[in-house]
């Protein structure tokens, strides 16, 4: 299959392209689309055969459910059987935007989408092209991130091309994604709303809106074999470049000294804060900054692109820096980086 890459310049300028993407989706095909978080690989959420194509193209485990994307609030009733008060509050505040709610599904959503679960993940993206594509398709779109399973999520159309070229018919290029990592996932089906994946909407914002919000401990911990998890995505190694990643905690100079000692007998690369880059001037290994330590949104925006460029470097090991965990965007950064590192962490 050849993959067509279409650069989107505007809703009017590319109206034919939106129509073609919509027709492909109506006809049971998959299309990669931009969203404000990361690129998604979309298919008609009501069409089981179309949804199966997503799993094949991504090499995604069958038991990992997909998020269903809608283009207006009223579509929520098309896919869920119950809309709790908490969902109305969150929708009012954060939709359209980078928030996914887990709700009870209805019968129209096939089991292939939810991997057999009785709940469904729903998101109403704010990206205007994403919404235009959902509207052109005329149906809600099931879409996971448009990477090959295990790789960092794509934040540009070129990342998608790299992973899925030859495997899907079309990629719509809407430029770089704003947020840079995936949506926040919150489960609203239990007694207490529970954060399952930190993302673009922060824990602080969720608590301001709802009061009590629990945090699933597996956000920052490794899941052991055969352990039951609230969200299947927690089980899988994610976002990993080909070389092993080790997170190094400690002062900047101690970090620099540790890395330089190890560089004597290993080929290394460094993923650091922007303000630490100069510490490595004059050394001949690759140093990739991903944002300012004090600016979690910037770190979130830069992380996946940085992990992908590290993937292109042949290093034996990657030493990485992480921000301190709080209730803002840094929680999402540490969650993704921990997974990329397989939870390997040292203090210096």
* Residue 66 interaction partner, one of Mg ion, ligand TXA, none, beta carbon < 5-8 Å per kind: ligand TXA
Whether 121 and 40 have beta carbons less than 8 Å apart is answered as no
Options 24, 112, 143, 246; binder of ligand TXA; rule CB under 6 A: 143
The site that binds ligand TXA (CB under 6 A) totals a number of residues, namely 28
Q: What is the DSSP string of 252-266?
A: HHHHHHHHHHHHTTS
Q: Which is nearer to Mg ion, 145 or 156 (CB)?
A: 145
Instruction: Find the binder of ligand TXA among 117, 214, 215, 220 (CB under 6 A).
Output: 117
Nearer to ligand TXA, 114 or 338 (CB): 114
Smallest gap from Cβ 113 to ligand TXA, in A, equals 8
- Output the CA torsion sign for 85, 88, 89, 91: positive
If one asks whether residue 183 binds ligand TXA (CB under 6 A), the answer comes out as yes
Rounded to whole angstroms, how far apart are CA atoms 213 and 131?
29
Residue 117 binds which entry of ligand TXA, Mg ion, none, CB below 5-8 Å type-dependent? ligand TXA
Which residue among 196, 213, 263, 272 contacts ligand TXA (CB under 6 A)?
Answer: 196
Exactly one of 34, 144, 152, 180 binds ligand TXA (CB under 6 A); that residue is 144
Pick one of 123, 127, 308, 339: the residue that binds ligand TXA (CB under 6 A): 123
- Nearest of 218, 228, 235, 246 to residue 150 by alpha carbon: 235
Of 71, 86, 126, 145, which lies in the binding site for ligand TXA, with binding defined by CB under 6 A? 145
End-to-end CA distance of the chain: 49
The single residue among 233, 241, 289, 291 that binds ligand TXA, judged by CB under 6 A, is 233
Among 231, 245, 306, 310, binds ligand TXA (CB under 6 A): 231
Given the rule CB under 6 A, which of 43-51, 61-69, 79-87, 211-219 is the region that contacts ligand TXA? 61-69
Q: Pick from ligand TXA, Mg ion, none: which does 232 bind, CB < 5 to 8 A by kind?
A: ligand TXA
Report the partner that residue 38 touches, choosing among ligand TXA, Mg ion, none (CB closer than 5 to 8 A by kind).
Answer: ligand TXA
Contact between 200 and 36 under an 8 Å Cβ cutoff? The reply is: yes
Of 79 and 288, the one with the shorter C-beta distance to ligand TXA is: 79
Pick the binder of Mg ion from 35, 145, 194, 338 (CB under 5 A): 145
Q: Is 139 among the residues that bind ligand TXA (CB under 6 A)?
A: no
The DSSP call for residue 309 is H
Label each residue of 120-174 as H, E or C: EEEECCCCHHHHHHHHHHCCCEECCECCCCCCCCCCCHHHHHHHHCCCCCEEEEC
81 is a contact residue toward ligand TXA (CB under 6 A): no
Partners of 33 in beta bridges: 40
- Residues paired with 245 in a beta bridge: 318
From 139-147, 155-163, 219-227, 322-330, span contacting Mg ion (CB under 5 A): 139-147
- By CB under 6 A, tell whether 66 contacts ligand TXA: yes
Please confirm whether the linkage preceding 96 is cis (ω < 30° from 0). yes
As a 3-state breakdown, the chain gives helix, strand, coil percent values, each rounded to 5, of 35, 20, 45
| Number of chain residues interacting with Mg ion (CB under 5 A) | 1
254/290 Cα distance (integer angstroms) = 19
Of 103, 262, 269, 132, which Cα lies nearest the Cα of 194?
103
Q: Which residues contact 87 (CB under 8 A, 6 or more apart)?
A: 76, 101, 103, 188
Please report how close the Cβ of residue 237 comes to Mg ion at its closest, in angstroms: 12
Residue 157 vs 196, nearer CB to ligand TXA: 196
β-pair partners for 102: 121, 187
What residues line the site for ligand TXA (CB under 6 A)? 35, 37-38, 40, 64-67, 98, 100, 102, 114, 117, 119-121, 123, 143-145, 182-183, 185, 196-197, 231-233
């Amino acid at each position: 299959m050849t993959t067509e890459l279409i650069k989107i310049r505007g809703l009017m300028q590319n109206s034919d392209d939106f129509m073609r993407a919509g027709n492909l989706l109506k006809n049971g095909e998959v299309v990669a689309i931009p969203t404000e978080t990361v690129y998604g690989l979309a298919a008609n959420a009501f069409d089981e055969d179309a949804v199966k194509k997503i799993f094949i193209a991504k090499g995604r485990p069958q038991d990992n459910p997909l998020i269903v994307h809608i283009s207006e609030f009223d579509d929520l009733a098309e896919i869920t059987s119950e809309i709790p008060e908490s969902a109305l509050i969150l929708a009012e505040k954060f939709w359209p935007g980078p928030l996914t709610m887990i709700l009870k599904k209805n019968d129209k959503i096939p089991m292939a989408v939810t991997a057999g679960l009785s709940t469904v993940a729903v998101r109403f993206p704010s990206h205007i092209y994403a919404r235009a594509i959902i509207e052109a398709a005329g149906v809600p779109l099931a879409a996971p991130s448009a990477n090959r399973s295990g790789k960092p999520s794509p934040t540009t159309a070129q990342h998608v091309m790299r992973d899925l070229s030859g495997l899907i018919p079309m990629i719509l290029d809407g430029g770089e994604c704003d947020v840079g990592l995936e949506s926040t996932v919150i489960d609203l089906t239990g007694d207490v709303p529970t954060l399952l994946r930190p993302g673009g909407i922060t824990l602080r914002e969720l608590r301001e809106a709802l009061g009590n919000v629990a945090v699933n401990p597996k956000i920052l911990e490794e899941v052991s074999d055969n352990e039951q998890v609230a969200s299947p995505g927690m089980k899988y190694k994610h976002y990993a470049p080909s070389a092993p990643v080790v997170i190094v905690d400690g002062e900047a100079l101690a970090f620099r000294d540790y890395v330089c000692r190890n560089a004597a007998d290993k080929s290394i690369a460094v993923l650091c804060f922007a303000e630490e880059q100069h510490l490595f001037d004059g050394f001949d290994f690759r140093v990739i900054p991903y944002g300012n330590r004090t600016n979690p949104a910037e770190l979130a925006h830069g992380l996946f692109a940085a992990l992908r460029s590290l993937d292109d470097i042949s290093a034996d090991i990657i030493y990485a820096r992480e921000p301190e965990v709080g209730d803002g965007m840094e929680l999402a950064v540490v969650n993704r980086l921990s997974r990329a590192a397989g939870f390997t962490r040292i203090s210096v």
